[in-house]
Amino acid sequence: MRVLVTGGAGFIGSHFCRVLRRAHPDARIVVLDALTYAGNLRNLEDFEGDGNFAFHPGKIQDRTVVEGLIRCESITHIVDFAAESHNDRSIQNSAEFIETNVLGVYTLLEATRRFRIEKYVHVSTDEVYGSIEAGDFTEESPLEPNTPYSASKAGGDLLVRAYWKAFAVPAVITRGGNTYGPYQYPEKLIPFFATRLLNGKKVPIYGDGTQVREWIHAEDHANGVLEVLEKGQAGEVYNIGDENERQNRQIVEILLEETGRTWDLVKSIPDPRRNAHDRRYSMSAAKLRNLGWRPEKTFEEEIRRTVRWYAERRDWWEPIVRSEDYQSFVRAYYGPSLGEDL
């Protein structure tokens, strides 16, 4: 097995590389990553000295790079984690999301078709389904995205479906829930709050904080993707979720407790996305469980372990929060609400 992992220097992608190596010690792992703000070579430090691992910088929408790698590395499988993936950033600049999440997927699908790749796994998100008031989304639920980010991911999903139908390209889709764990770029809720609270800074919560999300640990998510790579049927979609719902307020309570902070550091702010902020996500992962996959991480334990990881790994995240990209993002979205406490 010779696997091209796109976006492998990112959060979930790097966890997948470690999971894949443990499951397949002899596999050739080739990472292609554009190293945008969320890509970090330090996420792949475990592979130093691994002769069956290679990293290449580049974008998935660059046909020359993609096809060149497939040729020179004799790639047999592709697992695509590469994506622009933050809702708020997609409001600020939608074009980058379309280029990576739609055009990039097209480029990989064309390469899969032309080079007869054995399987292409497209890693997507539960956000393509939109919001659900009660019950659970299944793989047959309609796609109703509500932000440019989720719309771009839905566009990639539909391209995958079309290539399976039109060309019998051996492609499969996974849709994961909200993912947490070590190595997550500190702009998402858990690492954003954890790093700020560790520094004694205020954190913003949209409205009353009763939005509901379904959380899954990055390693469980990665193991789900591996299960699909090994056993998933071409043309199918598999939800990867822990059926573990929490209100955002409940998450904040744990983060405050674990960092020794109090609610006076939490400020309620209006949602800049207005009607685009999905109220509740919930999926059934029964289809993937039928393949034999089960999440192994306990949320209450692992979220606290994650906070402790950030407390111990300031060397990893402090350079990020000092970067101009990160600072400008925080100023653009939270500056007016948090005032000088940035």
Q: Which of 84, 126, 136, 214 is catalytic?
A: 126
Contacts (Cβ under 8 Å, ≥6 apart) of 23: 226
106 part of the active site: no
Q: Which of 33, 80, 127, 258 is catalytic?
A: 127
**Strand (E) or helix (H) holding 122:** strand 119-125
126 part of the active site: yes
- Asked if 89 contacts 185 with a C-beta cutoff of 8 angstroms, the reply is no
User: How far is 217 from 212, CA to CA, in rounded Å?
Assistant: 16
User: How far is 132 from 138, CA to CA, in rounded Å?
Assistant: 11
Residue 43: other Cβ atoms inside 10 A: 25
Contacts (Cβ under 8 Å, ≥6 apart) of 93: none
- Asked if 229 contacts 78 with a C-beta cutoff of 8 angstroms, the reply is no
Contacts (Cβ under 8 Å, ≥6 apart) of 299: 215, 217, 242, 244, 246
127 part of the active site: yes
Q: Which of 129, 149, 183, 334 is catalytic?
A: 149
Residues marked active site are found at: 126-127, 149
